[in-house]
Amino acid sequence: MVTTVLSRPRPSNAKTPEGFYGWRIVAYASLAVAATGPGQTAGVSLFVDPLIRDLGISRSAVSTAYLIGTLTGALALPWIGRALDRYGVRRTMAVIGAAFGAVLIALATVSSIVGLTAGFVGIRMAGHAR
């Protein structure tokens, strides 16, 4: 059996090697991954001791707030996935990035365990969505 491969002429609007934008995508993706740092465990762990000292709460309370934030934040991820499908990556990431920034600013004003838990919900939800 002989298979014939037909080659089509390249469309005039096709990207040429000098128009390759893959490296820009790598740079944008790297920036997006780095921007999620405050929502990751390694980023939060740097602030556990100052949180304990400033809020006057136990390490167990901070851990429990973080657990609640992680589990609750994970519940929103299917809806964020649907938003990605419906509205596209650019628009959804812009909204999530703005929400993530707002949550981080609000987290800087926390004065109780309830606010800390709400902040952890926000950063775990938006930090993982990006």
pLDDT single digits (tens) 19-71: 778 888 889 889 888 888 888 888 899 999 999 999 999 999 999 999 999 99
Under DSSP, the state recorded for 12 is T
Cα 64–Cα 69–Cα 72 angle in degrees, nearest 5: 120
Does 3 map to a domain? no
Residue 70 lies in a domain: yes
State the virtual CA torsion across 30, 34, 36, 42 in degrees, nearest 10: 130
pTM for the structure as a whole: 0.76
Residue 84 forms part of a structural domain: yes
Does 17 fall in a domain? no
pLDDT tens track for 84-101: 999 998 899 899 999 999
Q: How many structural domains does the chain have?
A: 1
88: buried, middle or exposed (CB in 10 Å: 19+, 13-18, 0-12)?
A: exposed
* CA atoms of 8 and 13, how far apart (whole Å): 14
